[in-house]
Structure 1
Amino acid sequence: MASDLPMLTRVVGGAEENWVKSTAGGTGIAVFGALFNRAIDTQHLSSVVQELLDCYSILRVQIVENAKGKTCFQASESCTAFEYVHERPWPSVEGFDHTGVIMFPKDHHDKHGSLALHKLVTEELNVAFVNAEGKPSPPVRVFQVLVYHSHSKHQTVVLLKLHSGALDRRSGHTVVEEFLGKLNLAVEGRLHHSQSAMSNEGLLAPIEDFIPKGKASKGLLQKGVDVVGYAYNSKKYALLPFDANYNGASKTPFESKIVGVNLGKQGTVSFFEACKRENVSWAAALAAALLKTTAALKELKEKKQDEFNMTIVMDCRQYLEPKLPEAALGNYTLGIPGGEKVKEGIEFWDLARQVNSSIEKDLSKSKQFSEMSVLGMLFSQVMKHPNITPKSSLRTALFNLFVDPPMEAQWKGVGELGLVGTIGPFSSMHFVGPCFCVVETLTDGPELLLSLVYPSPVFSQAQILEILQPSINLLLESCGH
């Protein structure tokens, strides 16, 4: 019996434990979606999922509590894809609002598939990982695959869901890349499953075990002082004004929603060329556009608020000791909080250089490590006491933005799949988090897709589009496009 099999188990690290709690609340449900212009056989999907489960112990993990009440990762030495692959009915998109939806040029079915994909991904961002009793408490799995078939349109949507307690954005990309490659082999009849490929190498240690010596050495007293400092300083930072109909966290359940825009091939090329010419990172330029647009909002100008806090987020594998390869699965992502003052009339590239300098300064001081425990403590306190945030909104910053190179979605070796397009991985953020998260994807062309994930009803779609579209317009105008 499965219960008699030896398990691969370890207690979660502090950062992982915070993610486990936040994901149960609604921040960290990661979803990737793919649309195919063909029927994908569920048996092929199951074979591929079995290969992934056999290769990666972390995908077989359940989050459990041990006898001492500690949260643990526990991976079975054996499991079947049947437990992870779920068929669901194709959704109706009649009357679905397509504002802010990325439409794929290859979708030859009146954009039916693009709308269905966006709708399904958004819905699943708001469905928690649950146990056998339907509750978001241990034991819960960290990986799930959902498949939807449109027999009339001859289309298939596949979603991969990942729990951020165990798997970060880089891990999600690695899993997706392997999934699509193996699925192509399965469709071609060239995927040869081998039980000997089963991996029981154990689970990688948490990020705390890889932090370079001396980089995260704050004592408990200093952590407490810094937490109080963060809480006090947060009052001077402006958030995005709340929607007029939002009255507080207790009134309506929060949901994560998505809007996106495509810069197009020429816009993308102009953007990257301008960043290179001005010697600023793409992330600093995008942050400057978002900051300048937000600072121009009428509600904030009337209050003369022009200082904002944002969190830059990064994959830390290359900064660890020893370094971890990009393909190492786990959660090795950290953030650095920072405040930026946006003076009225500041020239766009001057602001971009200001942001770029702030990011470089924080990285040179290894703040992703030194501030980790402080932010973890603050994060934990907000989860316990939402009322310490404005209107119990759970909002802790204006936005989160990755500073790594844009995540590439230029999939190779997928010619037999009829792949129309992919979106994500997106991560839910309607529990503790910023006003919006920035998600970037670089597709073939190259074309840069920029999406904002935001909590509703704290903010409305119209408000977020009022930030996104003018920011992109400012960006492109400043790049000479």
Structure 2
Amino acid sequence: MSRVIRLQMNAEDTCRILSSCERQEIKLSALLAAAALIASHSSKGIPDDHWEKYAVVTLMDCRPILDPVLSSDHAGFYHSAILNTHDIKGGEDLWDLAKRVHSSFTTSKNNKKHFYDMADLNFLMCKAIENPGLTPSGSLRTSLVSVFEDCVIDDSNKLHQVIGLEDFVGCASVHGVGPSIAIFDTIRDGKMDSACVFPFPLHSREQMQELIDEMKRILLDGTT
């Protein structure tokens, strides 16, 4: 099954992070992916000079590039994906790594890689569906982390109060095939409130909570 942990920050910390991203000219998605890579490497307790290879999948909305162009509120799933791998060692600087993640994605996007990588990802998904016992816990991972190129900006709606809606998250399942952690980055009422979805029991809640907490610490320590 898929389980969810929320990465939440107050308005002040969120504003500081978004302002830092704007100054560095990178997107929040790249910063979140970089924090996840650093936290994952450090969680293994391996020497700093030991390199690990991790994959990042970035999903992008293709509606603006279709012909005819579709509006952002057009119903349906119109996302494509770009897969990039990164070699990580201990002691990585958050912003240097975020710039690498952002640069590799931008280069791939400019080279139309989002039209090619979907075939590989779809192949992996099909294999997972055809062979549910192929990997431990019947789970095939496409990457360490997936993020969306552009975060969702969501503000309170009076209709929510009318219907008695107190809280909600937007996410999708990742337990059959997908990343170890899927980050549905959202800014709600000026505060970061991202749903982080992970496959269970492949990963435990305790393990992933430690990872999310470390990501949050890295983000807060790395922004001024």
TM-score w.r.t. structure 2 length?
0.90
Q: CA deviation at 1:302?
A: 9.3
- The separation in 2 between residues aligned to 1:336 and 1:300, in whole angstroms, is 29
Is the aligned partner of 1:438 residue 2:183? yes
**What's the CA shift string for 1:299-322, capped at 9, x where partnerless?**
555994511012111211012122
Q: Does 1:343 align with 2:95?
A: no
Aligned residue in 1 for 2:216: 472
Amino acid at match of 1:362: S
CA distance in 2, matches of 1:416, 1:263: 23
Q: CA deviation at 1:345?
A: 1.9
CA distance in 2, matches of 1:308, 1:291: 7
**Secondary structure of 1:296's match?**
helix
Give 2:79's aligned residue: 333
Q: Distance in 2 between matches of 1:325 and 1:272?
A: 25
Give the direction of change, closer, same or farther, for the CA distance of 1:303–1:277 in structure 2 (3 Å limit).
closer
Equivalence for 1:370? 116
> Residue 450 of structure 1 aligns with which residue?
194
1:426 is aligned, of 167, 171, 174, to: 171
CA distance in 1, matches of 2:169, 2:119: 28
Structure 1 stretches of at least 4 aligned residues deviating more than 6 Å after TM superposition:
none
Question: Residue 274 of structure 1 corresponds to which residue in structure 2?
Answer: 20
Task: Give yes or no for contact 2:160–2:166 (8 Å, CA) kept in 1.
Answer: no
Equivalent runs, 1:118-267 vs 2, <5 Å:
255-267=1-13
Contact map agreement 1:295 1:301 (CA 8 A) in 2? no
> Match for 2:202: what amino acid?
V
Change (3 A) 1:460 1:374: closer
Query: How many correspondences in the alignment?
Result: 224
Q: Deviation per CA, 1:104-131, whole angstroms, max 9, x where unpaired?
A: xxxxxxxxxxxxxxxxxxxxxxxxxxxx
- CA deviations over 1:56-79 (Å, ceiling 9, x no partner): xxxxxxxxxxxxxxxxxxxxxxxx
Distance 1:418 1:391 in 2: 39
Question: Separation in 1 of the partners of 2:141 and 2:3?
Answer: 15
The question of 1:324 aligning with 2:70 is answered: yes
Corresponding residue for residue 31 of structure 2:
285
Q: CA shift at 1:387, angstroms?
A: 5.0
Distance, in Å, in 1 between the alignment partners of 2:201 and 2:49 is 23
Give % identity: 27
* Whole-Å separation in 1 of the counterparts to 2:23 and 2:162: 39
Cα shift at 1:462: 0.9
Contact 2:146 2:182 (C-alpha < 8 Å) held by counterparts: yes
Mark the CA change 1:321 to 1:344 in structure 2 (over 3 Å): closer, same or farther.
same
Q: Distance in 2 between matches of 1:279 and 1:448?
A: 19
1:361 aligned to which of 107, 112, 129? 107
1:417 aligned partner, one-letter code? V
The answer to whether the 8 Å contact 2:53/2:86 transfers is yes
The whole-number CA distance in structure 1 between the counterparts of 2:163 and 2:118 is 43
- Calculate the aligned-residue CA RMSD, in Å: 2.2
- The CA distance in 1 between the partners of 2:14 and 2:26, in whole Å, is 15
Equivalence for 1:242: none
Hey, what's the Cα distance between the residues in 1 that align with 2:55 and 2:125? 15
Secondary structure class of the residue paired with 1:399: strand
- Please name the residue that 2:98 is paired with: 352
AA at the equivalent of 1:280? I
Q: Per-residue deviation at 1:388?
A: 4.7
**Residue in 1 that maps onto 2:127:** 381
Structure with higher Rg: it is 1
Give me the whole-angstrom Cα distance separating, in 2, the residues matched to 1:270 and 1:336. Answer: 28
Shift of 1:416: 5.6
1:107-122 correspondence to structure 2 within 5 Å: none
